[in-house]
Amino acid sequence: MYKILIADDEQKIREVLREYAEFEGHEVTEAVDGMQAVELGKSGDFDIIILDVMMPKLDGFSACKEIRKAVDTPVLMLSARGEEYDKLFGFETGADDYVVKPFSPKEVLARVNAIIKRNTVSVATGETAVFGGLEINFTSRDVKIDGVKVNLTPKEYELLFYLARNKNIALTRTKLLEDVWGYYFFGDDRTIDTHIKMLRTNLGEYRRFIVTLRGMGYKFEPDELE
């Protein structure tokens, strides 16, 4: 059973998602605006938060940013705006996934299950990888550069962990979308390229470890191996 927070100002959407979620045995809490979503979301009591983009008092993007300051609870964004720019902006605020309205409640619950499973994969205690001055602790989700901790978005963590675990292996953009997002993601190459760009910025001088394979994808190629 998962504890799910559904934040949407449209009662019908909350009701239909609640119905499907409770049918699968999950516990649902509702929020009717962005401020209430932040107040509830910051408690850390939920396994996942579903946020509508267009909400009164505080929009979903801003709500996601505020929640991210306190907890790393996975976030699934809902929006009637399906432009690529909106999706990418959602990911930049820390969202794990983005669903465009109108949607199938079954698809939303499938994505919820996939997101939570990705975030609860067990990793051996104390598993750490060190590549020169870049230190990655897979268990605590800590990344340090020359001893200084850096803060990444949840998706940046997942992308870096996947790249590091598959070091020196050529990875296509399609492979990255399928494995990092957990299923076939309805996006395009810009989704991966945008996240790689943000990740490289946060890695500073160690951005060089992420090598672009022109016309194909990327490869994590560190100067020093573990």
- Structure confidence by residue, pLDDT tens digits, 201-211: 999 999 999 99
Residue 120: what pLDDT?
59
Calculate mean pLDDT across residues 157-173. 91
Please answer whether residues 85 and 105 qualify as being in contact, where contact means their C-beta atoms are separated by less than 8 angstroms.
no
Helix (H, G, I), strand (E, B) or coil at 116: helix
Calculate mean pLDDT across residues 35-49. 92
Distances (CA, A) of 102 to 41, 42, 79: 24, 28, 9
Distance between CA atoms of residues 219 and 163, nearest Å: 7
**pLDDT-derived band of residue 184, with 50, 70 and 90 as boundaries?**
very low
- Structure confidence by residue, pLDDT tens digits, 77-91: 998 876 666 777 777
Q: Where are the domains of the chain?
A: 3-119, 128-220
Distance between CA atoms of residues 149 and 30, nearest Å: 35
Fold adopted by 3-119 = Rossmann fold (3.40.50)
Instruction: Give the pTM.
Output: 0.63
The tokens for 9 are: 């100002």
Fold adopted by 128-220 = Arc Repressor Mutant, subunit A (1.10.10)
